[in-house]
Amino acid sequence: MKAPDPVPMSLSRRILASKAGRDYVKPGELCSCSLDLAMGNDITVPPALNLFTKYFPDGKLYSDCRYVFCMDHFTPCKDIRSAQNVKQCRDFAKLHSGIDFFDVGTVGIEHCFLPENGYISPFDCIIGADSHTCTYGALGAFSTGVGSTDLAVALRSGKCWFRIPEAIGFRLTGKLPEDCSGKDLILCIIGMIGVDGALYKSMEFFGEGVSSLSIDDRFTVCNMAVEAGAKNGIFIVDPITEQYLAEAGVSACNTGALSSGSVDENAYERIIDINLSNLVPMVALPHKPSNTKPVMALDRIEIDQVVIGSCTNGRITDLRIAADILRGKKVAPYVRCIIIPGTQKIYMQALEEGLIETFISAGAAVSTPTCGPCLGGHTGVLADNERCVSTTNRNFVGRMGHITSEVYLASPRTAALAAVNGYIGS
């Protein structure tokens, strides 16, 4: 179908139109799109495999799509059930050469691991059986979370259907202050528009302010787009993106259609202007990511635990920020501080830079890469009435443990300061 002239197209719609074999697509349309990558983890892959085996007994995979299984949520396995889940995934991967399988010793937290290992390219269409698959929009991909049923069908067909989303544009100006990061930006945005403020919409980021955000900042912003209800988050592709891709061994193509100069502001249902220079450190209080306040506006809140890691903030820049705060200091008495590098590569780099020594000398515990505490799985579950400052992405009731526990979402800098002080706020 040829597009009428002119047709404003958001970044996401350009990708989906291409993957649907169309010149253009309209918001609200249902389209079947070819996938470049489908992924899942030790929680979501087993139900997909059960469905795949039931409905496709010949076991054939679609060969023109990349498939990745990352065993990251409960690994190293915390109990027999989680071990059985991983075994099911491992056994299936052994039988199918088209699946890249990563387990203890090689795996990382999936949304840190895939980009650094060159699985993500601009203009890709990606699904993952994990809600934070929207992370990859930082590299100019359309990526979104799906259920295990969609993953099962994708294993067979290499396709997924989408309702084409409306788009909200975020025009960034100014420069990110030194005491702020991408986490403060996305907490500010979610506090502004609410947990359903971008429901089934694409959150698209452009403007001259983008250049002050590192790739790690952009990963964090896109990672939490789903916490505003968004279908996906995506950034324009710029030289910072291209440098990251080159270091990951990715030869980027189709980047012109995703560059700053290609943005058509008429494609957005609304545009929200944000001056990064005005940002301050933020925190999301229990029990919603939208329940945000500036850290300086909080009265003193005593805490029991700090977690620095996750698919949101487990990258090397996050660890460097935390180490700068903890260096030469001690974690406050009766406070547990848990540091989780996002991948083995990040762990090794932190070792080489002396960050791990800094953490241990400060009295923190350092874990192998895992999603563990983020979802109350293991390696940091909270007891009744305990409070945790966490760099993760959700602070729902009972998210990290007992239903009376509380989670305060914050940046690595704010979390590290809380670990030293024993409280958050003033």
pLDDT digits (tens, 9 = 90+) for 198-239: 999 999 999 999 999 999 999 999 999 999 999 999 999 999
This prediction's pTM: 0.94
Distance CA 148, CA 47 (A): 6
Distance CA 54, CA 365 (A): 43
Provide the token pair at 188: 């500010």
pLDDT tens profile 319-347: 999 999 999 999 999 999 999 999 999 99
Bridge partners of residue 423, in order along the sequence: 302
Span 92-120, average pLDDT: 94
Enumerate residues 6+ apart whose C-beta is below 8 A from 266: 8
Report the mean per-residue pLDDT for the chain: 94
pLDDT confidence bin for 368, thresholds 50/70/90: very high
Distance CA 315, CA 135 (A): 13
CATH of span 282-424: 3.30.499.10
Are 354 and 326 a contacting pair, CB within 8 Å? no
Q: Is the pLDDT of residue 4 over 80?
A: no
Q: Is the pLDDT of residue 1 over 70?
A: no
Quote the pLDDT of residue 5.
Answer: 54
3-state secondary structure the chain: CCCCCCCCCCHHHHHHHHHCCCCCCCCCCEEEEECCEEEEECCCHHHHHHHHHHHCCCCCCCCCCEEEEECCCCCCCCCHHHHHHHHHHHHHHHHCCCEEEECCCCCCCHHHHHHHCCCCCCCCEEEECCHHHHHHHHHCCEEEECCHHHHHHHHHHCEEEEECCEEEEEEEECCCCCCCCHHHHHHHHHHHHCCCCCCCEEEEEECHHHHHCCHHHHHHHHHCHHHHCCCEEEECCCHHHHHHHHHCCCCCCCCHHHCHHHCCHHHCCEEEEEEHHHCCCEEECCCCCCCEEEHHHCCCEECCEEEECHHHHCCHHHHHHHHHHHCCCCCCCCCEEEECCCCHHHHHHHHHCCHHHHHHHHCCEECCCCCHHHHCCCCCCECCCCEEEECCCCCCCCCCECCCCEEEEECHHHHHHHHHHCEECC
Q: Is the pLDDT of residue 110 over 60?
A: yes
Are 181 and 409 a contacting pair, CB within 8 Å? no
Query: In terms of pLDDT, which residue wins out, 127 or 97?
Result: 127
Quote the pLDDT of residue 2.
Answer: 55
Bridge partners of residue 410, in order along the sequence: 283
Quote the pLDDT of residue 6.
Answer: 60
Domain 11-279 classification at class level: alpha beta
Least confident range from 37-51, 99-113, 253-267, 386-400: namely: 253-267
Please name which of 268, 252, 146, 143 lies closest in space to residue 204, comparing C-alpha atoms. 268
Quote the pLDDT of residue 3.
Answer: 53
Bridge partners of residue 389, in order along the sequence: 306, 408
Distance CA 405, CA 389 (A): 11
Span 361-372, average pLDDT: 95
Quote the pLDDT of residue 260.
Answer: 80
Dihedrals phi, psi of 274, to nearest 5 degrees: -130, 120
Are 419 and 329 a contacting pair, CB within 8 Å? no
Task: CATH 3.30.499.10 in the chain: give the residue spans.
Answer: 11-279, 282-424
Span 339-363, average pLDDT: 97
Quote the pLDDT of residue 255.
Answer: 72
Quote the pLDDT of residue 345.
Answer: 96
Angle of helix 316-326 relative to helix 215-223, nearest 10 degrees? 100
Are 323 and 359 a contacting pair, CB within 8 Å? yes
Query: Quick one: what percent of the chain has pLDDT higher than 70?
Result: 98
Least confident range from 39-48, 55-64, 125-134: namely: 55-64
pLDDT confidence bin for 246, thresholds 50/70/90: very high
Provide the token pair at 67: 């498939």
Query: In terms of pLDDT, which residue wins out, 316 or 376?
Result: 316
Strand order in the sheet with 270-275: 232-235, 201-206, 166-173, 270-275
User: Considering just the CA atoms, what is the radius of gyration of the chain in Å?
Assistant: 21
Query: Quick one: what percent of the chain has pLDDT higher than 90?
Result: 89
Quote the pLDDT of residue 7.
Answer: 76
Quote the pLDDT of residue 139.
Answer: 96
Quote the pLDDT of residue 257.
Answer: 78
Span 60-83, average pLDDT: 93
Quote the pLDDT of residue 261.
Answer: 78
Q: Is the pLDDT of residue 396 over 60?
A: yes
Span 374-380, average pLDDT: 91
